[in-house]
Structure 1
Amino acid sequence: MFAKFMKAMVRKKAPVNFPDMARVVPIDPNFAWDRGTPIDRYYIESFFRRNARLITGRVLEVGGSTYSRRFSEGKAESYSVLDVAPNNDKTTIVGDLADKSSLPANAFDCFICAQTFQYIFEVREAVEGAHHLLKPGGVLLATVPGISQISRKDSERYGEYWRFTKDSIDRLFRPVFAAGVEVSSFGNVLSATAFLQGVALEDLPDSSLLDAVDNYYQMIITVIARKG
């Protein structure tokens, strides 16, 4: 009885204001792409920007060359695009990360793999495929979702199977890349809630609120994995 009373007192002292949040349909069901910049892209782009020095030599990216060209700072020798779908006109390598026989071996200095592993059911094999692609000393820069809605378009096209944590990513990558693995997470309750509601970065009163990291709300997990 006392516990119920105390909870009621907490609610009275700190009432929740639900002007726009008391809804079962998100503000923008398309990750906020229709409103502006999705919240997860703030973390993804910040990660690639901080690690731009690693985007050098022969660079491979999944689906397109947007991030490799944007953040390589002119240090890349070439840009290649990996896609499992042959009808992507940007593709230079048609291959499946989970099938090493479809991938070139020891070919790239840097592999950018943003928000991809969740669509591959054979995720352990996909990690091995990423390792297979890299030259000795080459580096994988990857991001994966921790807290996220399911992508309607991509789940219908590929299936969507996984959400990750720092612990699960470490256990997936370390057996393959050994000591050359650095895993981080980004996000907090505000960023996670805003992202799920389809709120855009531009909707927030202060984007620096996203910089607070709460390990219990891991919205985006990042991986730097170097091939020995």
Structure 2
Amino acid sequence: MLRKYVASTFLRIKNSRVLVVHDWNQKKTQVIENKDWLTILEIFIHEQSVEAAYEQFQKIQASPILESKHQHIKDHINSDNFIVFVTYNTLQVFKNGFSSLPISEEQVDLTTDSRETYQVVSYLFEQAIFTDKCQSINSFDYFCQLVEDMVKLGLLAPSINALDLGDLRRRFPICPMFGFARGTAIDTYYLDKFIGEIREQVTGNVLEIGGVLLNQETFGFHNATQYQTLDLLPRSGVTLVGDVNDPTIVRPESLDTVVIFNVLEHCREPWVVVKNIYSWLKPSGQCFCMVPNAQRLHDAPIDCWRPLPQGMEHLFQDFSQQRLYLYGNPLTLIASFMGISVEELSSQELEDFHPDYPVTTCMAARK
């Protein structure tokens, strides 16, 4: 049985290209290459079933509406900054972009016009350039494939009350131990990716905060000439016992590299910790840090923070060079919270990246 969908996106035009807008500041966009997608989007404002949408699409192809029928629409739009809001049973234009959202006089409701012709969106972007010359949509199977492509890109969403939550409709996580009971935890997969990026740069006199000596071999840090580990409490594989908040625990400018994975979130004052790391590093020394963004509370001994990308940039602002490594997407974010393992997702699902849904944020910073 085919699912039902609704349009769910914002559109604008820039440099003669139609863009899908993913955030309020319009920094994250993607280009609509195929003009037919605009028609399909508009149909799904009013029709939720794929069968009904295809029927309407065929009618539009057979009898396109004359441009004169829509000419009154642009009388309301005097700016090139307009944004088109396409969603369930609603087609609106924000005449001056998102800045006009709170002002009703700056919004134009074109839902009725759209319901009459299903071609208002195409008319609004009639001057746009489209580069995708794909085959004519002349079969239901091909139409269904396009719909699925649009769903994957976030242009269409399951219609209201059509979500299939399945095993996620539950009060408790699938695995309370981050997914380890089912395989590999999501954040472990991303930590391995980050280590693969920075492994050769972990050199010289290295201090790992919150780790043990075995990690040098586990992580493959073969360029370290000396490997020390610091932790709050004594245990096997810890060479230095002390509080990372204490600046005297390590001699200033004595380290070439500091490694600190999944530790800052447990520090009451992570800014103090980063300041100490800066002082312990030699000139041009490097710090490699990872923090979780999507992870259940794990108070070992405490759990205080989830530093986000811009927060990490602020924490490491005194370093002369910074490079962020971000990993995750909506699916892996949910998987991380629910304890779904790496083995239960495909490589593509794990590798897909969405900047608004980081599972982990990693930082490589040079003093």
Structure 1 length-normalised TM: 0.87
The 8 Å contact of residues 213 and 238 in structure 2, kept in 1 or not, is answered as no
Tell me how far apart the structure 1 counterparts of residues 322 and 281 of structure 2 sit (CA, whole Å).
14
1:143 is matched by which residue type in structure 2?
Answer: M
Alignment match, 2:24: none
The 8 Å contact of residues 212 and 236 in structure 2, kept in 1 or not, is answered as no
Tell me how far apart the structure 2 counterparts of residues 99 and 43 of structure 1 sit (CA, whole Å).
30
Residues 51-95 of structure 1: per-residue CA shift (max 9 Å, x gap): 11101212221221354323345222121111011x212111112
Tell me how far apart the structure 1 counterparts of residues 314 and 360 of structure 2 sit (CA, whole Å).
17
Alignment match, 2:361: 221
Tell me how far apart the structure 2 counterparts of residues 19 and 201 of structure 1 sit (CA, whole Å).
19
Shift of residue 123 of structure 1?
Answer: 1.1
Q: Does 1:79 align with 2:219?
A: no
Shift of residue 145 of structure 1?
Answer: 1.3
2:321 is matched by which residue type in structure 1?
Answer: G
Q: Does 1:207 align with 2:347?
A: yes
Tell me how far apart the structure 2 counterparts of residues 182 and 80 of structure 1 sit (CA, whole Å).
24
Tell me how far apart the structure 1 counterparts of residues 186 and 88 of structure 2 sit (CA, whole Å).
37
* 1:74–1:125 Cα change, 3 Å: same
Alignment match, 1:195: 336
Shift of residue 122 of structure 1?
Answer: 1.1
Alignment match, 2:316: 173
Please, which moves more after superposition, 27-36 or 12-21?
12-21
The 8 Å contact of residues 28 and 199 in structure 1, kept in 2 or not, is answered as yes
Gaps of 5+ in 2: 1-45, 47-85, 91-155
Alignment match, 2:303: 160
Alignment match, 2:263: 116
Tell me how far apart the structure 2 counterparts of residues 13 and 23 of structure 1 sit (CA, whole Å).
20
Alignment match, 1:182: 323
Tell me how far apart the structure 2 counterparts of residues 12 and 136 of structure 1 sit (CA, whole Å).
56
* 1:142–1:10 Cα change, 3 Å: closer
* 1:159–1:13 Cα change, 3 Å: closer
Whose Rg is larger? 2
* 1:217–1:20 Cα change, 3 Å: same
Tell me how far apart the structure 2 counterparts of residues 90 and 73 of structure 1 sit (CA, whole Å).
16
1:165 is matched by which residue type in structure 2?
Answer: L
Structure of greater relative contact order (alpha carbons < 8 Å, 6+ residues apart):
1
* 1:5–1:49 Cα change, 3 Å: closer
Shift of residue 13 of structure 1?
Answer: 8.1
The 8 Å contact of residues 69 and 79 in structure 1, kept in 2 or not, is answered as no
Structure 2 length-normalised TM: 0.55
Tell me how far apart the structure 1 counterparts of residues 88 and 256 of structure 2 sit (CA, whole Å).
61
Tell me how far apart the structure 2 counterparts of residues 181 and 132 of structure 1 sit (CA, whole Å).
16
Gaps of 5+ in 1: none
The 8 Å contact of residues 265 and 305 in structure 2, kept in 1 or not, is answered as yes
User: CA RMSD for the aligned pairs?
Assistant: 2.3
Tell me how far apart the structure 1 counterparts of residues 278 and 221 of structure 2 sit (CA, whole Å).
24
